[in-house]
Structure 1
Amino acid sequence: MDMCFSRLILSLCTSLLLFALAGCDRHQGSASSEDNVHKALTVDKQAAASSKAAASGNAAFVKAPDIELPFHREVLSNGLTVIVHEDHKAPVVAINIWYKVGSKDEPPGKTGFAHLFEHLMFNGSENFPGEYFEPFQRSGATDMNGTTNNDRTNYFETVPVGALDMALWMESDRMGHFKGAISQEKLDEQRGVVKNEKRQGENAPYGTAFEEIARATFPSDHPYSWTTIGSMQDLDNASLEDVKQWFTDYYQPANAILVIAGDITVAEAMEKARQYFGNIPSTAVPPKLENWELPTQVEKRKVITDQVPQTRIYKVWNVPAIGSEEENALDLMTSLLANRKNSWLYRRLVRDEQVATSVSAFYYGRQLAGQLIIMVDVKPGQSVENVETLLDQELDEFVRNGINAKELRRIKQSEFASLVKGLEKIGDFGGKTDILARSEFYYGDPGALINGLDDYAKVSEADVQNVAQEWLTSEQFTLIISPKEDYSTSGKEVDRSALPAIDKTVDLALPEQQVFTLENGLKVVLAERHDTPAVFMSLQFRSGAAADGETPGLASMAARMLSEGAGEYDSLSFSARQEELGASIGASSGLDYNTLSFSALKSQLKPSLELFRDVISSPLFPEADLKRVKSNWLDAIRQEEAQPQGLAMRKLPPLLYGENHPYGAPLTGSGTPEAIESITREDLVKFHRTWLRPDNAQLVVVGDVTRAEIEKLLNETLGNWTAPADALPTLDIPMVERPPKPRVYLLDRPGAQQSYIMAGLVMPPWSAEGAEAFDAMASAIAGKFTSRINMNLREDKHWSYGARAVSMDAEAQRPYIVVAPVQTDKTAAAMKELVKEYQDYLGKRPIKDSELNDYKDDEILKQSARFQTKGQLLSSIAWQVEKGLPAEYIADYPDRVAALTKEQVEQAAKQYLAPDQFTWLVVGDLKKIQKPIEALNLGPVEVLPTN
């Protein structure tokens, strides 16, 4: 499930929330449904727009990027809208189907129905009963999901070209042949899964906030007055007849948009669309809710308590819907207010007054209405009344004179740069299929969002000032959550007796890796890719948690502080400079490496590299900013400890490795409160001088640049960065022994609706020898949706929303962690099932031929999409360089997987897995779970102290 928050560029990011794009003119360039025109949306009108903006004195104008997103739009005779886009850079095709139905179409008393039905759609169809993911997870499919929001439901996947017929057969089968596959058993199963999803959401801190907001800001008869996930009572009331009628009413071609994009021609795509979807009939589609009078502003407040680590303030205003004239200005206003270091509320509340740890704001745009929402996390120990007073004062000041043309230009430039980089992906959230479908759904034109960039670029100071004055009024809903004490058809019938065969040919065209060394000794690996005018880089240097010593979190803190100013730029001007250039520079920390990431437009490459150089060679680590970051960091640790997952990730590593082991620090990378409090500027300077040096680093470059160009630029910008005279320290990671028998640790979370189960096992270090067998072994038991433990706990017993296991990458012994959030009354039973699954896997039910063959097919075919974007290619090459592997290692991977045998995978299971040596950690309500867990007799049970 997703919730549709309207932001132009944020829709290009993959996160749990799907953001709707904004910034377009819905009346501009609408395509006829019958003209079959191959329409190219080349946005080349900026010169005229620039002249017009200059003439009108718009100081906030910026030039929109020149973006081509050609498409073909056609409506089949049964009413299905088909949109096709060609992109031949990778041998993959993305499919995205939007059904024009969401939670706003639910009648009162049946809330949550649209989302429940989305879950049912993954339970097989009339001609393919069983798990819908199954054929996709042996065909190399990626980016596969389904989402529901207030306005619509969509399903999407990216598949290798050879699997396209299979994917279209499956999508069309559940569009046209699903009703007969719906059973009471499947309804009950998915009802249980959705209820656990609801429990999981509500079990998280602030998990009920949007339900409170929906109820308080919309009249009870308004379709937005309930959340997409609905109520437990309504979910229980959903009947089999309701489900079948929902399918009949809404899941028909005339109520759907099909987008096909990728390595396929328009003619081929349309032929396949007619072949698979053309004979599916449409009946009368229920009348659509297209508008609803904007609800009047409410002036009320509500204060509630919950198991949260700090108070959060929500301010909510009802504003115009998607497609309104104010949409662009509302969106830009939220970026001026929050979400950036230079934003008004962040500067005042987080940096200057230091009374809050975070501030965010967004325009929540939907078809019938929009909302402006501001959220402030109050710093523990601060007066909530004082923070709210400061917030209101700052909003009042912003309304009067807070709009600055220079800031507005920076925001636009930054978001345009993100758009250019994000458009490399054809599928998934924010990919090309998503943009085309969203444009068609919300504006009736697949090109609306791209065409609308001109309007976004032309938003003026006055436009934003006007919407601020009109909507940021004292009439608002304030929610405070504080901690508790404690049609006709055409086309021939498709053969649905068998799934179309998958062409298993994988033809990868990977760019050559060019290796060279800069004058300062830094090793560089370059892969040229010239599809978009952008350059991506990754600078890795050995350090990470392994270099923390007695200060857990030091490497992470150093990474965080690198963005707090460098060279001649302090923290705010550094952030502003990135926005001006459309560049992005970030840092992250892992167990063994820290990484500096970089991306820039080709046109701004040199000045962006100069900024990158400053971060590498001359970070400021300012004392005042360190004090603020440390304070907020400590608050973030409290947030982690308030969430079952975060708490478990903090507490499990020392149980696996020991308190003083380099890997014994919290897996979140945030360290311990004592260590973070002790970090000084001198510690950061020493860490930087010790580890960030050219003889301890490697740079990977992928993008629109030649070796001659980039080598010259890198020597010019990084040439003065040299290694110190001191010898590079070594990092020795001690080995640890597995426990001789299982151990069980419990953490109390009174009143929790779910228990969070983790089981950890220390694995040997990664090795190229046997790596493929290990991955195949791990995937079948717990590594993907159709793995054994997920099918057991989610699909068979519906005790959990999802159960998985991950093996984290490390230079030394790796942590292998099983994760299963389950409903409280099934905690002990779920642990018993997990043990049984692992024991059976090692004994009477080893990996089956079908499981191995499915894994091999899926993994080999998945390579088609693995290098679709520059970022994906960069990540793969950086990992290869980190492991010291030759360039051909990536290209030869499919051959190594294809050669796997069942015996090799069985041997890997026996070599690595040992459920009788698991270290268990369970976070939950001990009054309800402790005695049943003790009765399992897995091993000694110890209750850990809680803060």
Structure 2
Amino acid sequence: MTMFFRRTALAASIALLSFNVSVHAAAKSEIAIPDIPYTKFVLKNGLTVLVHEDHKTPVVAVNTWYHVGSKNEKPGKTGFAHLFEHLMFSGSDNFNHTYLQAMERIGATGLNGTTNTDRTNYFQNVPTSMLDYLLFAESDRMGHLLGVLDQKKLDLQRGVVQNEKRQGENRPYGVAYQLITENTYPAGHPYSWTVIGSMKDLDAASMSDVQEWFKTNYGPNNVTLVLAGDITPEQARQKVEQYYGEIPAGPPLAKQAEWIAKRTGTHRQTVQDRVPQARLYRVWNTPRGQTQADALLDLTAKILGGGKTSRFYKRLVYKDQLATGAEAAQATAEIGSQFYVELTARPGVDMRKLEQGADEEMRALMKSGPTTAELENAKTAILASYTRIVERVGGFGGKSDVLAACQTFTGNPDCYKDYLKTVKAATPAQIKQIMQQWLSDGDYVLEVQPYPTDLSATAKLDRSKEPALGHPESLKLPAMQQATLSNGLKVVLAERHAAPVVNVSMLVDAGYSSDTPDKAGLAGVVLRMLEEGTTTRTAPRIAEEFESLGADYAASSNIDGAFIQVNALKATLPKALDVYADVLLHPAFAQHELDRMKQDQLALIQREKTNPSTMGYRVIPSLVYGKDHAYALPNAGTETAVAGLTRDDLVKYHQTWFKPNNATLLVVGDTTLAEITPLLEKALGGWKAGEVPKKTIAVVRPPEKPVVYLMDKPGALQSVIYGAQLAPPRNSPESLPLQVVNNIFGGTFSSRINMNLREDKHWSYGVNARLLPAIGQRLYLSSSPVQTDKTRESLQELVKEYAAIAGAKPISAAELKNAQTNETLALPGSFETAGQLSGAYSNILQYKLPENYYNTFTDSVMALTPEQANALAAKVIAPGQLTWLVVGDLSKIEAGVRELNLGEVRKIDSDGNLLP
């Protein structure tokens, strides 16, 4: 639940919604500073409330910001802010439920809590009919928590947090965050310890410590509450007074002032980690957020390392090919920020040469300043991200986050407008000056090298009774309108006029299943190569044109299809479509670009084969489907196949699969058929139809008995246990009810396996099971990262859980009811943006689902009975036919796994090949 890296939510809003887009100077005036209207009032107890109306869907976002984070801790008592965030999900005096389970019951979406250095927030979107229930729960844990907070809950959440810490440190480069934090601030500075804290301090946290933390920091006078969505200010005031008005204010609090801790000289450090590629971090301490300097450094970061048009990318990734990634960011915080440069080296590259190249680019920018075009592009990257913010009401980068951050840190909910005014008014001379002032000295350099692989007056509220739950509501999504271009290309449109944004997505019937073993990875390389140059445009020009139009281009694939999309502002859509069509139809597949891309793909494969969370995903399909099946190949391909790819392979693939009669164009957003069809005809009408091969998706018989595979990851802090089997295709009549069954088993926080291994045993930060979508038989996969010394016991518990869901412990009526309400009540919160709508309609089109699939979703789910659910679980979930894979340090776990006698044990390498 924590935000592992230091950022305020306003910075996170920008970071999460930054699409690396920009605009020509001529288009600059077309992107206005957005306005997020609000009503503000303050209760007698000091609670600050902001209300924003957005009635496009029957959903309300509730975003609660406590102005307390890890900087309010003391040395020796670190990690309290984050630990307490977890405790807030454990129930309160009059709402003594596991909070996430209760929220799942009412269809909450966008649900989480996060902690950073400066604040702790809790947020969720709920159907309008569930708002009273949510406000009761949210206010109860604010005002009535301590009565049910006992030692058992403290110990449980302490264990969960410690597993979260292990999981973060187990990731490649996980060691860097701790070292950067400890070495860039002086001892005693509020930012000199990590948000998640130390194991020693977490172990020492006592009940009296956490009780005092709550009493001191969680009073309403230290809180900003934002209600955004389907609600009026009058309704909000009445409800907030009702549920929060009686909560007494907390004590007066002292607030930290700015403490930048500017450094001098260079401090260097080197560390080894189990990573496939070396990485260099370079960090400067810079001014706090919500200042002119902060905005100018944001622009500087985008010019240096903000995407394909940045100086780092052009020089280090594209031209010199020293790096596979080169980024820069201004990580904003309340009392002092940090400017980051992060460079991931290509395998075998001399790190001194990579660092020198990046330093030369920084010094050149510092000496001469940016070009006018560079600065305008950087400005628009930020302006376009805020244009998209107005699509969403909730946390993690929606409108309520922006308002809450501004109010919390400045007292002015409109502070984002001042930030954007500074951005729009910035000059090249200001960028030059800010770099000289803050980035010319005082850097910390951390080099991460691969480790050798062989080693009040308000009326009293009656809290004795919870508000009645609301009810699931059916959706009424925009109709799917259809047209056909002159070349036979099918066009599907769903209108959504909430924001001036249009999402255009080409669905091509190809996907990873169109690869062959000797060309494994080809489909993915082709998609990545589309934007690397056309017959008339170079790769840099494509990136510059998309960014100059405020457009975000993306290409992705799944097992059955390819998706090439552009998310554009309506004002620049015609020009964006011209570039999009050229990228889609006329790729050059230049040899020098292919050579570079192959190296990137090989580096990606290396990373996948060293990360415990991805090592299993590479080999499981071949273990379950069989090596010759169309679904068996790893998505990224194999080293041998990728290394052998030629330009002719790419040309042939594109000519074979990319045909208008093998594709559907999906348009979602602020347009009409009358507006869009002529534009599409102009851009795509010349695309010629032709014959397309038919993919063969063989039906696979399940194994007769379980098999256990072991994959060694020496030194791993956790083991990852996978359980895999096959399930009916995505468009099977059993698909939707099976989704509900899986929610009970492993698909939600309150699922059986997560409650067992995380909440009861606290051996894991979180486990899950999911059904991967496919036209053919689907992979049904559970994934359980657990602490190494509990691998045997965790696997034993999973075996029991599989047997239980298959019939030994039938699904109860209560379990089914909770799963049904969660599945249906959460639905409205999943269709806020044009991108979300596009994803839903893509599912309908790709898997040939009924056009009214989502509009009838609620009725279909609610009609499921316990008898039907149990019959389906018994039919589909097959404990006796599971394929198990355990990835971990076999020197510590192999003996224990073998002792369970689950079936034949086979050891495999990272490619899935059997070992002696």
For the superposition of Structure 1 and Structure 2, which TM-score range results when normalised by the shorter chain?
over 0.9
CA distance in 2, matches of 1:685, 1:257: 56
Q: Determine if the alignment matches structure 1 residue 649 to structure 2 residue 617.
A: yes
> Which stretch of the first structure deviates more once superposed, 623-632 or 558-567?
558-567
Residue range with higher mean Cα deviation, 208-217 or 407-416: 407-416
Deviation at 1:397, TM superposition (A): 2.1
How much does 1:764 deviate? 2.6
Match status 1:638 vs 2:606: yes
Residue 931 of structure 1: aligned partner: 895
Match of 1:242 in 2: 209
What root-mean-square deviation, in Å, do the aligned CA atoms of Structure 1 and Structure 2 show? 1.9
User: Pick from 627, 635, 639: which aligns with 2:595?
Assistant: 627
TM-score, normalising length: structure 2: 0.96
Give the Cα–Cα distance (whole angstroms) in 2 for the partners of residues 463 and 192 of structure 1: 49
Q: Displacement, 1:173?
A: 0.3
In the other structure, the counterpart of 1:889 is 853
**Residue 736 of structure 1, CA deviation:** 1.9
Deviation at 1:7, TM superposition (A): 9.4
Could you tell me which residue of structure 1 aligns to residue 678 of structure 2? 712
Aligned to 1:849: 813
Q: Which 4+ runs in 1 deviate beyond 4 A? A: 6-10, 12-15, 58-64
Letter in 1 for 2:478: P
The CA deviation string for residues 787-820 of structure 1, in whole angstroms up to 9 with x for no partner, is 0000000000100000101110011111111101
Equivalences, count: 902
Partner Cα distance (1:450, 1:472) in 2: 26
CA distance in 1, matches of 2:26, 2:732: 57
Do 2:303 and 2:310's aligned partners in 1 also have CA atoms closer than 8 Å?
Answer: yes
| Aligned equivalent of 1:75, options 32, 42, 64 | 42
Conserved 8 A contact 1:700-1:874: yes
Displacement of 1:498 in angstroms is 2.2
Choose from 263, 273, 278 the match for 2:240: 273
Q: Distance in 1 between matches of 2:506 and 2:660?
A: 10
Report if aligned partners of 1:297, 1:317 keep a CA contact under 8 Å in 2. no
Query: Displacement, 1:678?
Result: 1.2
Structure 1 match to 2:644:
678
CA deviation string 1:131-190 (max 9, x = no partner): 111221111110000000000000000000000000000000000000111100000001
Cα distance in 1, alignment partners of residues 485 and 785 from structure 2: 49
Instruction: Answer yes or no: is 1:120 the counterpart of 2:84.
Output: no
Query: What secondary structure sits across from 1:452 in the alignment?
Result: helix
- The DSSP-based 3-state class of the residue aligned with 1:563 is helix
In structure 2, distance between residues paired with 1:9 and 1:606:
31
Counterpart of 1:696 (choices 656, 662, 680) is: 662
1:484-495 equivalence runs, <5 A: 484-486=451-453, 489-495=456-462
CA distance in 2, matches of 1:136, 1:847: 20
Distance apart, 1:225 and its partner CA: 0.7
SS in 2 for 1:773: helix
Indicate which of 162, 166, 191 corresponds to 1:224: 191
Say whether 1:748 aligns with 2:748: no
* Other-structure match for 1:137: 104
How far is the alpha carbon of 1:76 from its aligned partner?
A: 0.7
* Alignment of 1:784 onto 2:748: yes
| 1:919 CA drift (Å) | 1.1
CA distance in 2, matches of 1:370, 1:12: 15
1:832 Cα deviation (Å)?
A: 0.4
* SS of residue matched to 1:660: coil
CA distance in 1, matches of 2:394, 2:801: 34
Alignment pair present for 1:605 and 2:573: yes
CA distance in 1, matches of 2:815, 2:201: 38
Match of 2:13 among 11, 14, 22: 11
Structure 2 unaligned blocks of 5 or more: 912-916
Query: TM-score if structure 1 supplies the norm length?
Result: 0.93
Task: Tell me the distance in 2 between the aligned counterparts of 1:479 and 1:451.
Answer: 34
**Residue 499, structure 1, aligned to residue 466, structure 2:** yes
1:743–1:920 CA contact under 8 A, matched in 2 = yes
Aligned twin of 2:173? 206
Contact 1:61–1:459 (CA<8 Å) still a contact in 2?
no
**Pairing of 1:822-901 with structure 2 (within 5 A):** 822-901=786-865
304, 327, 332: which one pairs with 2:299? Answer: 332
Give the aligned partner of residue 304 of structure 1.
271
Q: Distance in 2 between matches of 1:244 and 1:293?
A: 31
Output the CA distance in 2 between the equivalents of 1:219 and 1:688. Answer: 56
- Aligned residue number for residue 693 of structure 2: 729
Alpha-carbon distance in structure 1 between the residues aligned to 2:656 and 2:910: 36
Q: Following the alignment from structure 2 to structure 1, what is the Cα–Cα distance between the partners of residues 442 and 140?
A: 50
Structure 2 vs 1, CA of residues 8 and 780 (structure 1 numbering), >3 Å: closer, same or farther? closer
Task: State whether residues 513 and 525 of structure 1, in contact with CA within 8 Å, keep that contact through their aligned partners in structure 2.
Answer: yes
Q: Secondary structure at the match of 2:110?
A: strand
User: What is the DSSP-based 3-state SS (H/G/I as helix, E as strand, rest coil) of the residue aligned with 1:780?
Assistant: helix
Return the alpha-carbon distance in structure 2 between the equivalents of residues 312 and 85 of structure 1: 43
Q: State whether residues 262 and 442 of structure 2, in contact with CA within 8 Å, keep that contact through their aligned partners in structure 1.
A: no
> Corresponding residue for 1:342?
309
Question: In 2, Cα distance between the equivalents of 1:904 and 1:251?
Answer: 46
8 Å contact kept, 1:214–1:224: yes
Q: Deviations over 1:100-156 (max 9, x none)?
A: 100000111011110011011111111122311122111111000000000000000
The alignment partner of 2:631 has SS state of helix
Residues 664-683 of structure 1: CA deviation (Å, up to 9, x unaligned)? 112xx211111111111111
Structure 1 residue identity aligned to 2:676: I
C-alpha distance in 1, partners of 2:586/2:393?
38
Match of 1:614 in 2: 582
- Give the equivalent residue in structure 1 for 2:914: none
1:358 match: secondary structure = strand
Q: Which amino acid aligns with 1:355?
A: L
Q: Determine the C-alpha separation between the residues in 1 that align with 2:184 and 2:850.
A: 59
SS at match of 2:284: strand
Partner Cα distance (2:528, 2:9) in 1: 26
Which secondary structure does the structure 2 equivalent of 1:716 belong to? helix
| Cross-structure match for 1:587 | 555
Following TM superposition, by how much is the alpha carbon of 1:329 offset from its aligned partner in structure 2, in angstroms?
0.9
8 Å contact 2:110–2:829 — kept in the other structure?
no
What amino acid maps onto 1:925 in structure 2?
D
Go from structure 1 to structure 2 and tell me whether the alpha carbon gap of 1:717 and 1:653 turns closer, same or farther (over 3 Å shift). same
Shifted more, 275-284 versus 839-848: the winner is 839-848
> Is the CA contact 1:411–1:579 (under 8 Å) kept in the aligned structure 2?
no
Q: CA deviation at 1:240?
A: 0.6
1:898 deviates by: 1.6
User: 2-side partners of 1:843 and 1:7: how far apart?
Assistant: 45
Aligned partners of 2:728 and 2:735 also within 8 Å = no
Q: 1:511 to 1:633 in 2, by over 3 A?
A: same
Letter in 1 for 2:479: E
Distance in 1 separating the partners of 2:32 and 2:26: 18
Contact 1:6 1:331 in 2 (8 A): no
Q: Deviations over 1:25-71 (max 9, x none)?
A: xxxxxxxxxxxxxxxxxxxxxxxxx9xxxxxxx99976651523110
Letter in 2 for 1:69: I
Q: Specify the SS of the correspondent of 1:752.
A: coil
Q: What code does the residue aligned with 1:391 have?
A: A
Please list, as runs of the form range in 1=range in 2, the aligned pairs for 1:153-168 lying within 5 A after superposition: 153-168=120-135
How far off its partner does 1:699 sit?
1.2
The aligned counterpart of 1:904 is 868
Match among 347, 352, 357 for residue 324 of structure 2? 357
- Pair 1:371 & 2:338 matched: yes
Q: Look up the match of 1:39.
A: none
CA distance in 2, matches of 1:605, 1:678: 38
Q: What's the % identity of the aligned pairs?
A: 43
Pairing 1:243-642 to 2, within 5 Å after superposition = 243-486=210-453, 489-504=456-471, 506=473, 508-550=475-517, 551-642=519-610
| Distance in 1 (alpha carbons) for counterparts of 2:217 and 2:830 | 35
Matched AA of 1:510: L
Q: Bigger CA drift: 489-498 or 269-278?
A: 489-498
Q: CA deviation at 1:786?
A: 0.2
- Structure 1 range deviating more: 693-702 or 794-803: 693-702
What CA distance in whole angstroms lies between the structure 2 residues aligned with 1:660 and 1:8?
49
Deviations 1:260-312, CA, capped at 9 Å, x for gaps: 01011110011101110011001313312132253433521111111111111
